[in-house]
Amino acid sequence: MNTKAVLLGLTNLVIASFMFATISHAAAPVPKSAYGVPIPKDKGYVVEEIKDGLYWVTEGAYTAMFLTTGKGVIVVDAPPSFGDKMLKAIGDVTKEPITHVVYSHAHADHIGGASMFPKNATYIAHVETKHRLERMDDSDRHFPYGMFVGGKPVPLPTVTFDDNYTLKLGNQTLQLDYKGDDHEPGNIYVYAPKQKVLLKIDIVFPGWTPFKGLAIAEDTVGYLKAHDVILSYDFDKLVSGHWGKLATRKDVEVQKQYMQDIQANAGKALQSVDFYAIANKVGYANTALLFDTYLDAVTKECAKLTEPKWLNKLGGVDVWTDDHCYKVIMATRVD
């Protein structure tokens, strides 16, 4: 084979692998109903009053909220992807100063912009969120808190609670509740009873499959249970953290059903995929390879059973159902 033929062969190989990469990344169409509110290009954000002085804000990807009280503004969360848009959104509707900041949980992609708020404001969070944030200053960190999501270190909570905390300010009330571990220890429910609005972040993704791996839930069983806890509140609108829209009770019920299907299909796959048949092929010499091959087969079976029913209902089902299946399979095995 001459040099030209070798080069041609290599070129074909590159083209073939590129085509394969392209094909393997092709995804099913996203249902139109999945998309959030249109974001005006000039402002780059939307601020809307849900009811009685409670506003939600989005830049298209993240969601957060604030309340005017007559005695100062209460802000819940500060996604760094907003930049200073939260300050602008508040300035659009009130001249009241920001006096209280509530952190939903410790993740930098939801609160890593909080250093822009007044230093003398009251910062409220679950005690576990404070513990997590105290790790911001660990000298053995390789990278600063929030660096890869555009955030930076934030004020530590000045008020913490274990189970419940009622924040009353001016004409507004927020009920803060902790109901156990789910997405991250310290992830709280923030409920506005007058407006029937609930904020609970990184559990429900209205119109979409959740973010990869049950939205990186630390406690899979708690994550799945959180759907029922959310529904136990008397709410009309849910601020769920993503993707540029509010969630309704219906969105929560739909995602709960999707999760129930994944759990059922994880069980079916664990029962039907034959570990010993795989071991006979792979052998026992490389334990990592054996378990990886087995768990991969169980994961694929669970995803295959789940996806057809959900492809037309939620965005990204073909992209992330296998990741959810894997987490649920692991939890079904050990939790």
Residues making contact with Zn ion (CB under 5 A): 107, 202
Measured from the CB atom, is 215 or 266 closer to Zn ion?
A: 215
> From CA 88, how far away is CA 84, in angstroms rounded?
6
> From CA 83, how far away is CA 63, in angstroms rounded?
13
* Region of residue 131 (left: phi > 0; alpha: psi -120 to 50; beta: else): alpha
| Position with the least CB separation from Zn ion | 107
Measured from the CB atom, is 177 or 202 closer to Zn ion?
A: 202
Bridge partners for 192 per DSSP = 197
Nearest-approach distance from CB 110 to Zn ion, in angstroms: 6
Measured from the CB atom, is 215 or 331 closer to Zn ion?
A: 215
Nearest-approach distance from CB 143 to Zn ion, in angstroms: 17
Measured from the CB atom, is 221 or 290 closer to Zn ion?
A: 221
Nearest-approach distance from CB 108 to Zn ion, in angstroms: 9
Nearest-approach distance from CB 146 to Zn ion, in angstroms: 12
Please state the separation of Cα 45 from the chain's center in Å.
20
Please state the separation of Cα 242 from the chain's center in Å.
7
Nearest-approach distance from CB 264 to Zn ion, in angstroms: 27
CB neighbour class for 54 (10 Å; exposed up to 12, middle 13-18, buried from 19):
buried
Measured from the CB atom, is 77 or 202 closer to Zn ion?
A: 202
Closest CA to 262 of 203, 307, 316, 292: 307
